[in-house]
Copies of this chain bind each other. A is one copy, B any other.
């Protein structure tokens, strides 16, 4: 008759078979992608390959895009750790403008390296794939304010700069002629630097006594 003493604990850890099956599914997905590319990863084929039912696939990942999001997640976490506690200028310690430039360079490279998965991880519904909160917009906002406390509309600017940074690699420079990822990386990185350095006052040595 007693109710559990801690009725509000987290919703009870994932069952062991569920965790095992998730790994099976992710492994199967990785193999299928390596063999035939993302397009051939259908929910039916993935379920069969992993020896599970289709319902299980949807229960685990919600949507097709969810599978690809899960595949990127580990790398994304590593990336965020470098940003939050790695060496400067990407990590804390450097001048905010330098950190913004470094973040852009790293993010562009990350997205271009993961572009196939990242594109497949975009939901056909509303927003871009974010792990609960939008780390990029958040981080950009913080650095923008640090670089210039008097900046108007930091929220809006953070949103726009996030789009400027992440849109082109995800769409792989949607416009005009095709470019190699190498050329794209260089072009975008340099453009980002220009954008950031012009947008924010350079902190020259003369500024600090």
Contacts and interface: CB of A to CB of B under 8 A. Distances in A.
Contact of A191 (B124, B130, B153): B153
B124 A190 contact: no
A153 B156 CA distance: 24
B174 A128 contact: yes
A174 B127 contact: yes
B191 A162 contact: no
Stoichiometry (number of copies): 2
B160 A191 contact: yes
A contact face: mostly helix, strand, loop, or mixed: helix
Nearest to A155: B187
Contact of A152 (B156, B166, B171, B194): B194
Interface string A154-180: 011101111111111001111110000
Contacts of A113: none
B176 A134 contact: yes
Interface string A122-154: 001011101000100100000000000001110
Interface of A: 124, 126-128, 130, 134, 137, 151-153, 155-157, 159-168, 171-176, 187-188, 190-192, 194-195, 198-200
